[in-house]
A and B are shown apart, each in its own frame.
Chain A
Amino acid sequence: GLHSREDFQRIPELAINPLGDRIINAFFPEGEDQVNFRGFMRTLAHFRPIEDNEKSKDQNGPEPLNSRSNKLHFAFRLYDLDKDDKISRDELLQVLRMMVGVNISDEQLGSIADRTIQEADQDGDSAISFAEFVKVLEKVDVEQKMSIRFLH
């Protein structure tokens, strides 16, 4: 079977999740409105917990979907709407606005965005590239934060 966006939007909890709609979009391949089971599972596969034996198994083959790097990439793609592999200030602002209440003024939000970029930016282009993103989050336990244990 196929899932459409409406199927996801019916899930009530997603309506009150700040990043809900973006996450829904992440399931759908570029420009399409339907996702089949395979595509759905591919996306979910990012969230499998990382197991140790997998790491050593296959150094030459393609990286498994649930590697740390791919998990981070999933999140990165949520921010980077125009897919230029950089999170610009505007994109960051958009995400910030989504994740923060209405009590913060635009100026405050802007300054937070500026600082965030400043913290991560290493090559001075006022945007966060994927490499910078990875670097600034190196101490975060991504494996734990982005893993679900699925039954069966």
Chain B
Amino acid sequence: GQRSSESHKNSNQSFAIVSFKWDHVKEPYIIALWILVASLAKIVFHLSHKVTRVVPESALLIVLGLFLGGIVWAADHIASFSLTPTVFFFYLLPPIVLDAGYFMPNRLFFGNLGSILLYAVIGTVWNAATTGLSLYGVYLTGIMGKLNSGLLDFLLFGSLIAAVDPVAVLAVFEEVHVNEVLFIIVFGESLLNDAVTVVLYNVFESFVAIGPMNVTGIECLKGIVSFFVVSLGGTLVGIFFAFLLSLVSRFTKHVRIIEPGFVFIISYLSYLTAEMLSLSAILAITFCGICCQKYVKANISEQSSTTVRYTMKMMASGAETIIFMFLGISAVDPDIWTWNTAFILLTLVFISVYRVIGVILQTWILNRYRTVQLEIIDQVVMSYGGLRGAVAFALVALLDKEKVRDRNLFVSTTIIVVFFTVIFQGLTIKPLVQWLKVKKTEHREPKLNEKLHGRAFDHILSAIEDISGQIGHHYLRDKWSNFDRKFLRKILMRRSAQKSRDQILNVFHELNLKDAISYVAEGERRGSLAFIRSPSTDNMVNVDFSTPLPSTVEGSVSYLLREKAGPVCLDMQALEQRRKSIRDTEDTLAHHTLQQYLYKPRQEHKHLYSRHEIMHSEDDKQDKEIFHRTMRKRLESFKSTKLGINHPKKLNKIHKRDRGQKRRNSSVIPNGNIPSENPVQDFTLKEKDLEFSESEENNDYETLHLGKGVDFLANVTKQNFTDTPAGIDNPVFSADDDQSIYTKFSPWLSGEDTVVPSQRARVQLPYSPNFRRLTPIRLSNKSTDSFLLADGPEDRPRSFLPESTHM
């Protein structure tokens, strides 16, 4: 101000050394400031764990927005900041939807696609129609007073308020861990209903514009047709760009640094292209993410993959934060506020009631066709979790005041509806779910037997489901896998990636890597050998680095429970109940221990999606433990039936031979890549599937491991195998182990023992193309860690296999 004007006065005479150029930087500065404020707010919220456990973050952000908006308004008396639809639709929404699509659990999604589509399409249409018509009906009775709207306006309003919002749903469901089927249905619904919303919105908006007189049957028909065009068109655009993206990622071997960029740019282009063609942009970017996942993850390097994941999460999380904050800020705008009690109240009532009715009806229909039924508690969560959010707000802000005379009323109502659902429903959904879950099991205390056998039943049922699903051969899924294998992979995946695409080996490998890395980490933490000597319960070199055993302190059992209580922890209630009855603490402890440590059945334990974290689920640990154990047993039974005697000595030979090879062939390439190693020469390979071409340079050390492991695999599974690697004796796994082997290979040095043998142990599982993806664990989970750990051995000659790669 002062200075610049002064210097301005003197500008003819002298040179201004410094000047305050606010206008120059105003726009980007303000944007950056808002982002900073939002992020700082998040830090502040999470300082208080108590608050965040009760109040969902989205609610807090809205309140903050209100507060800030109030300040701005008080200072300026103008509402200078608000969530403009342009910014929302172009910059804030795409990252969130892309994040959702890219991390979508595909198997679950497509498995439940029927239900999802039903809810998304029929459900949304139902909501829109009933809400709009009811409001119109009530309007006709005159309770609402004088409004300038006709039937079409009400229908327009109904259509934009009907849609369940992906942003809000995700934000709330993160706090409430529901079972995976329920989650995917609500989540999928919120994503897919965009097509319906867009169509309905556009249709009714143009109807309102052209006037109710001109709406003929033709127009309605056009509307219906446009629904199909918009939705299918959007999906096709998404798939096309996914194809493009996968193709591009195949060739980015030499430009690793900008690999992540492609993912974002091409996905964003799909969004914009669909928008340009007036198709459903959300569907486009969703399907782009869904379809490209697999190929992109296979093609790009681990570092790029990590970068992509983190960046996506960051952008999505940031966008969500800003959205909610601005929702709050935009509310503080007296110009738009129009209050009509009846309208607002009735809207709230109608959307809730009709959603419940809709859900019940549709679930009733669905349950006749579904294998896994949707129960009452699921339906309650579905109805209650149908939140409206920023999409509705943006759509209503887009309305033209000239065409829709009651625009301000609609805006105000939408704001209130959004606030209500996000804040009130968000706050209460967790206690509601808790109460319901408890109610189901509350009527009496379950006995130890019931718990144990009940859990066994769950496991049995999961297994039978898997067996019947697998052996029943899902026709479509098989067809898709075949198509994928024959054509798509050849085009879209890098050749090296194609070969190592056995998901099970990947998962397994991943688990072993984690294993090995944990060994090192643990060893470092506890000081070299401490963990070797820890008593292990099943002959595994078992590192007990998880939570400490619940020590037998009577009073602190409940304290322990409180500490460990997850989002919805049933044990709390059980414990409270038990305290009322006369039971000794040992009994309580037994119950608690069982509850705590029983493996969770499949339905419960997968937390699929999180906006705020990359999921390193502890359930991996459960899977890993069970997997090890199963494999060990199978290996032992296999050994005893086919091999007879152990050949511990052979193990040394094999190891030595491998080491020799490694030393011979390996060299360190500066960017950390490892040339393809192929011990194939020494082993007979009978299955052609397992051929690894030496020509293709392979800087995926995943394949490296795989090569070794699969070799052993191939050899052992042959009925008529040669005697070379017959001695698959694994110091880690065999019960009657030879101590000499064990001491030779200290596990923390050559995690090889945990890597290779484990793969070897999978003797019964030859390479089979029809596996469904177990868990989409990516090798790159450990990339960052491996770099931390890699600093030491990087310069040593790479004599030991795993050390050189992931430490």
Contact = CB atoms under 8 A, between A and B. Distances in A.
A10 B764 contact: yes
A108 B590 CA distance: 8
Contacts of B463: 13-14, 17, 19-20, 23
Contacts of A23: 460, 463-464, 467
A14 B467 contact: yes
Contacts of B444: 139
Given A47-B464, A95-B456, A108-B593, A102 B544 contact: yes
A136 B459 contact: no
A112 B593 contact: yes
Interface string A12-31: 11111111110100010000
A108 B552 CA distance: 10
Interface in B370-412: 370-371, 373
A116 to B, nearest CB: 5
B587 interface: yes
A8 interface: yes
Interface in A8-66: 8-21, 23, 27, 40, 44, 47
Contacts of B549: 103-105, 108
Given A12-B771, A19-B459, A137 B471 contact: no
Contacts of B3: none
Interface string B664-683: 00000000000000000000
Interface string A84-104: 000000000001111111111
A6 B459 CA distance: 20
B624 to A, nearest CB: 8
A97 to B, nearest CB: 8
B448 A116 contact: yes
A81 interface: no
Contact of B371 (A101, A136, A148): A148
Nearest to B620: A16
A78 interface: yes
B371 A150 contact: yes
A115 B461 contact: no
B460 A13 contact: no
Nearest to B464: A47
A104 B596 CA distance: 10
Nearest to A9: B764
Interface string B621-653: 111011101110110000000000000000000
A132 to B, nearest CB: 9
Nearest to B373: A149
A142 interface: yes
Interface string A108-152: 100110011001100000000000010011011010011011110
Contacts of A95: 456
A13 B452 contact: no
A96 B622 CA distance: 15
B296 to A, nearest CB: 23
Identify which of A17, A27, A95 gathers the most chain B CB atoms within 10 Å of its CB: A17
A116 B456 CA distance: 14
Interface residues of B, number: 67
Contacts of A98: 629
Nearest to A104: B597
Dominant SS at the B interface?
A: helix
Dominant SS at the A interface?
A: helix
Given A15-B627, A44-B468, A103 B544 contact: yes
Contacts of A8: 467
A16 B538 contact: no
A58 B745 CA distance: 65
Contacts of B466: 11, 13-14, 17
B462 interface: yes
A67 B457 CA distance: 15
Interface of B: 369-371, 373, 444, 447-450, 452-468, 470-471, 503-504, 507, 536-538, 540, 542, 544, 546-547, 549, 586-587, 590, 593-594, 597-599, 602, 621-623, 625-627, 629-631, 633-634, 764-766, 768, 771-772, 774
Given A75-B453, A99-B598, A101-B597, 8 more contacts: A13-B462, A16-B622, A17-B602, A17-B626, A20-B630, A44-B464, A119-B447, A151-B369
Closest 10 CB pairs of A and B: A13-B466, A16-B623, A145-B457, A23-B463, A136-B449, A9-B764, A19-B459, A100-B597, A11-B470, A17-B463
27 contacts: A9-B764, A13-B774, A14-B463, A16-B626, A17-B463, A20-B626, A20-B630, A21-B633, A99-B452, A99-B459, A99-B598, A100-B594, A100-B598, A101-B625, A102-B536, A103-B546, A111-B590, A112-B590, A112-B593, A119-B447, A133-B453, A137-B450, A142-B457, A145-B458, A146-B461, A148-B465, A149-B373
